[in-house]
Structure 1
Amino acid sequence: MKVTAQEVIDFFSGRARLPLTPAEIARQLDVPKGERKKLMALLDDLVAQSALVQLKGRRYALPRKVSLVTGTISIHRDGYGFVTPEAEEDEERRKDIFIPARFAREAMHGDQVLVRVERGARTGKPEGRIVRVVNRAHHTVVGRFEQSRKMAYLIPSDPRLTQDVFIPRAARGKAKTGQIVVARIDSFPSKNRNPEGTVIEVLGEAGDPEVEVMTIIHQHGLPHRFPASVLAAAQEIPDQVSPEEFGGREDLRELITMTIDGETAKDFDDAVSVRDEGGGRVRLWVSIADVGHYVKPGSEIDHEAYERGTSVYFPGRCIPMLPEKLSNGICSLNPDVERLAMTAEMLFDGSGNRIESRFYPSVIRSDARLTYTEVRAVLEENGSEVLKRHPGIEGPLAIMKVLARRLMDRRRKRGSIDFDLPEAEIILDLQGRIEDIVRSERHFAHRLIEEFMLAANEAVAGYLSERELPLLYRVHETPDLEKLKNFQEFVRHFGFDLSLRDEKVSPRDLQKVLDAVEGRPEERMINQVLLRCMKQARYAPENVGHFGLAADDYCHFTSPIRRYPDLVVHRILRDALAPGGLSEKKRGKLERNLPRIGEQTSARERRAMEAERDIVDLKKCQFMVQHTGDSFEGIISGVQAFGFFVELKEFFVEGLVHVSSLHDDFYHFEEEIHRLLGENHRRVYQIGSEVRVRVEHVDLERRQIDFVLDADATKDADAADDDKPSS
């Protein structure tokens, strides 16, 4: 008798009255002796999926029946932590569980842990203690090496790794005091003992820009060197497209085709062409590098790309998903050379509605490698110098401008949310040290190409979805109701109304708030608060739609050079277009593998984002060290009981004004309306208020900037008339 996972879960839900051993489970489910090894493997799989927990004596139970939860722990620099539960259907059991510092010593940040859940005596909120660590997140640690005559230890660079790693004398290698090193963890922490390790690599001196980058690479476990076998496989790929490869492809070389990217871009995976078809109709070709032609499933290059999941972008540096031979060479749609592509050809009417679409492998020849600045010059200025360098592009760009505006208008009408605020751009000198922080240039040229990519992604997703083919969707779920209610209360304080009909919200309702706040001092802050309310987009085979884009069908198709999910979508599309379509064998394989691929690529995306954020935060702190003592205008971006955060207008740098530095009054935190209120003078500090601050201190290790208010320079902090005490 073969037992399924669902049968085991149903058994524990209904018939099991206490934790059971494998032998007891086998007897009650009538599993013959010859099948019991398979039952053991099934039980282990269910434990790995957090559907069951394994207790002492190798007994199994449903987590909820023994008050146990499996999840990932996030450790605060002060030692306490929060566990985010996995695989919980009950909303109450999905809430983060607080772990006091005394119960968190055995775990390290990011570990998967089994937690016994209790109720906090004072707060009534979920608290817990770690029963055991299920999976370790770290097997190496990077940090500063220190030693004395008696002992040596590594201070982790990640402040969330709160315990120093002891290094025995024989395990120090050539490390010297103050150097940044990588250590292998030989024994993990326990209740009474720190972790111990062996130095396996010396990165160099602290403060060296290259060492700083390598520190963050190791801190996040980013693969940064291609194995020799992968590089060797890449070398076997030709540098040029041969005419023999044109067979079975549509020839688009006569179309005026162009790539539009940033000034420093080196890989070009998307190219666009347009044609006015009359009657307001416009035909758009979006041609994407045919990476799948060169990277075959299961190959050395494919395995490495899957492990990386995405390219990672640091200021002045890229850690690519594919070897440079492909990403900057044969797969890059460079100008004036033949390239193989997968093309989405779409026809739009005068209102921006897609009325036709077609997909096929193609061969293209890009006529121009344009930058956003050049496109802006042509569309918004006379652009004469650009047109001299690239004759023939003026007409197509004018058609593109018209189409992009139609697509933007149509998307906004259906309720797509548009977060389009300027960000900080880090400027480095030749040695890699930060030179300046400037407002990133973002204008219509950026929006133009983005609209075309969105249109292609939707068209491909719609085509495959209509045919009920397995697909790796890019999904974005509706925000949690509790967070929406908090946001509703937050914006009401600024005079904006957010409608929650039947305790639900549409993207259109949220966009109305963003439209209403546009141009106001609190615009950036409200955008950021709303962003924090949103769930993170992810990759999954279940199509739940894309809330932020208000799209029913959406996938990533347009960047296979730098995103593994796009390569997966290309392969599915190619099989769907082949004679006979997707075979049953391939369909079955996809249905089995897509959940795993979705989880892996989503996790790799999060890892890349965290690493990119860390290096930017470090560079911002380094930049502000030279401005210690200087004063700047800023806007309050967040308020907590311990103080308020201020974002500088000039540099997009955020720091904390601690409540202990406010000497003029006793301040009380009003959580519901995100403000601090002075007890005697009734001075108010709330999100959106303008203040002038002085840089007091910068902690590079903690990535923390401390501000103090500049004397008598606070703006918009006076209380409203109705808050003033009566005379």
Structure 2
Amino acid sequence: MKEKNKEILEEKRTMLEDFISREEYKPLRFKEFVGFLQVPRGEKNNLKELLDQFIKEGKLILDQQGRYRIPGDNIKVGTFAGTQRNFGFVILEGEEQDIFIPENATKGALHGDKVMVAINEEQTGKRKEGTILDIMERGKTELVGTFEKSKNFGFVRPDNPKFGRDIFIAKEHTMGAVGGHKVVVKLTKFGDGTQNPEGKVIEILGHVNDPGVDIMSIIREHDLPVEFPEEVMRFLNQIPEEIDPGEMKGRLDIRKLQTVTIDGEDAKDLDDAITLSKEGEIYHLGVHIADVSHYVKEGSVLDKEALKRGTSVYLVDRVIPMLPHKLSNGICSLNAGTDRLALSCFMDINSKGEVVSHRIAETVVQVDERMTYTSVAKIVEDHDEEECRKYEALVPMFYEMLELSQILK
């Protein structure tokens, strides 16, 4: 049934697009659309929703007379970038030059808002200037800032200076915040060119001088997801902590190759390893990446969450991971002395640095040593006797790595 409704909606959308793209199309009011398209009474709301969607997409604009117009060449849709001085710019996707928006032409747009802008025909300088016609979609509804208290009300100075304006907080919406508190504010009114936005405090992060508050402010300002959803954590229960022998079937077993990871001292998610040997003038280089895709199947809740996060975020005192620690620090981490599944690229490189052959394979690896940049540097640069004795079996490979790195520079 849902699929059928979706098909009907797409048909109506196509019909409406065809209608407004005709050369003879002239701006119409909503009632005129209903008449021209002979829309039944019960489907008027559907038509209104489609027209609203076209406005959001920049295909139509609603003028002051209530007519739906096709945007002209001087009408663009973009993202508003604010400044401390209350003027701004509209960033247009795919275009190099931004549109300058004077303070009196912003229509109350805030940093990050999706806006419709009319580019002025007469330009006073080299940069194009424009006027905001409509705020199509708000970029943010919550902000982080510093609370300041006055006698009968409060206000919040946003951490991001591009928001330009302070947020007015009525006395009953301060949540007990005092001057100097870092707070999260939910915007209730967005203001306009003359009035400041209004909001209410929904979370107090702590005083600006409290340890850790600065980091939490960054996390909340950028909407970084600290915790994983419950459905993701439940999905993790299906993933084993050690690989099953059956999972090795059909994979190239390279556990006997001398293999190392090289990372920083504090690294915990060791997701790549290398092997290297030399035969005559040919270097046999292997790069092995933990096979996360074996456990994170495309379309799974974990895959969708990782896609949403995009990357791990490294802050001063913590890491906000793309994948839960059970994966990134566990079965998908190439820890020394444990069997792990990997995707490997084997390259044969000659003395000129040319890759003469290569192949990619699904593999089973076992890392011999978890090395650090410091330890390897002590061996190949400082020739540290103690470090060389400690990793005696690996020293020849490290010098071959040094040779190859110099060839590849």
Instruction: Tell me which interval the TM-score lies in, with the shorter structure as reference length.
Output: 0.7 to 0.9
Shift of 1:200: 1.2
1:69 pairs with 2:70: no
Amino acid at match of 1:242: D
Q: How far is 1:258 from its partner?
A: 0.9
| CA shift in 2, pair 1:76/1:282, >3 Å | same
User: Which residue is 1:191 aligned to?
Assistant: 193
Partner residue, 1:595: none
Q: Which amino acid aligns with 2:398?
A: L
Q: Which residues of 2 match residues 548-697 of structure 1 at below 5 A? A: none
**3-state SS, counterpart of residue 160 of structure 1:** helix
Question: Could you tell me whether the CA contact under 8 Å between 2:118 and 2:131 is conserved in 1?
Answer: yes
Inter-CA distance 83–219: structure 2 relative to 1 (3 Å threshold): same
Partner of residue 83, structure 1: 90
What's the secondary structure of 1:126's corresponding residue?
coil
**How far off is 1:164 after superposition?**
1.4
Q: Distance in 1 between the 2:405 and 2:16 partners?
A: 53
Q: 1:284 to 1:133 in 2, by over 3 A?
A: same
Give the letter aligned to residue 323 of structure 1: P
2:135 to 120, 133, 136: 133
| Matching of residues 694-709 of structure 1 within 5 Å | none
CA apart distance, 1:136: 1.1
Distance 1:46 1:393, change over 3 A: farther
% identical equivalent positions: 37
Output the CA distance in 1 between the equivalents of 2:39 and 2:360: 53
- The answer to whether the 8 A contact 1:21-1:60 is kept is no
Q: How far apart in 1 are the matches of 2:18 and 2:394?
A: 62
Deviation of 1:38 after TM superposition, in Å, equals 9.0
Determine the C-alpha separation between the residues in 1 that align with 2:384 and 2:286: 24
Query: Deviation at 1:245?
Result: 1.6
| Higher Rg of the two aligned structures | 2
- Displacement of 1:311 in angstroms is 1.1
Looking at structure 1, the residues matched to 107 and 56 of structure 2 have their Cα atoms a distance apart, in angstroms, of: 23
The Cα shift of 1:26 comes to 10
CA gap of 1:44–1:349, structure 2 versus 1, over 3 A, is farther
1:16 Cα shift? 5.0
Alpha-carbon offset, residue 338 of structure 1: 1.1
**8 Å Cα contact 2:251/2:364 also seen in 1:** yes
**Compared with structure 1, are the counterparts of its residues 246 and 293 closer, same or farther at alpha carbon in structure 2 (3 Å cutoff)?**
same
1:685-704, Cα deviation, whole Å (9 max, x unpaired):
xxxxxxxxxxxxxxxxxxxx
1:396 matched to which residue of 2? 397
Change in CA separation of 1:4 and 1:174 when aligned onto 2, cut-off 3 Å: closer
- 1:260 paired with 2:262, answer yes
Q: Which residue, 151, 154, 168 being the options, matches 1:149?
A: 151
Shift of 1:121: 5.0
Aligned to 1:379: 380
Aligned to 1:215: 217
CA deviation string 1:412-445 (max 9, x = no partner): xxxxxxxxxxxxxxxxxxxxxxxxxxxxxxxxxx
CA distance in 1, matches of 2:24, 2:270: 58
* Matching residue of 2:5: none
In structure 2, which of residues 17, 23, 48 is the aligned counterpart of residue 15 of structure 1? 23
The match for 1:228 is: 230
Q: 1:47, 1:357 → 2: CA distance?
A: 52
8 Å contact kept, 1:53–1:63: no
1:503-522 pair list within 5 angstroms? none
Which residue in 2 is equivalent to 1:437? Answer: none
Counterpart CA distance in 2 for 1:6 and 1:85 is 28
Alpha carbons of structure 1 residues 7 and 148: separation in structure 2 relative to 1, 3 Å: closer
Structure 1 residues 384 and 241: CA distance shift in structure 2, 3 A: farther
Query: Contact 1:185 / 1:198 at 8 angstroms: preserved in 2?
Result: yes
Aligned length: 397
The structure with the largest helix share of the pair is 1
Aligned to 2:175: 173
Where does structure 1 lack aligned partners over 5 or more consecutive residues? 89-93, 409-727
Give the Cα–Cα distance (whole angstroms) in 2 for the partners of residues 174 and 236 of structure 1. Answer: 45
CA-CA distance at 1:180 after TM superposition? 0.7
Kindly tell me: are residues 43 and 255 of structure 1, through their superposed partners in 2, closer, same or farther at Cα, counting changes over 3 Å? farther
State the distance in 1 between where 2:174 and 2:408 align.
60
Residues 376-405 of structure 1: CA deviation (Å, up to 9, x unaligned): 222222133223333321222222223223
Q: Which residue of 1 aligns with 2:250?
A: 248
Aligned residues of 2:123 and 2:129 also touching (Cα < 8 A)? no
What's the counterpart of residue 326 of structure 1?
Answer: 327
Deviation of 1:43 (Å): 6.3
Q: CA 1:148–1:294 in 2, change beyond 3 Å: closer, same or farther?
A: same
1:117 aligns with 2:126: no
Q: Secondary structure at the match of 1:212?
A: helix
Q: In terms of mean alpha carbon deviation, does 130-139 or 377-386 score higher?
A: 377-386
| Separation in 1, partners of 2:359, 2:32 | 58
Report the equivalent of 1:347.
348
One-letter amino acid of the counterpart of residue 59, structure 1 = Y
Q: Which amino acid aligns with 2:177?
A: A
* Shift in Å, 1:138: 0.9
Deviation at 1:303, TM superposition (A): 2.3
| Counterpart Cα distance in 2 of 1:362 and 1:392 | 23
Indicate the SS of the match to 1:185: strand
Residue of structure 2 in register with 1:694 after alignment: none
Change (3 A) 1:120 1:373: farther
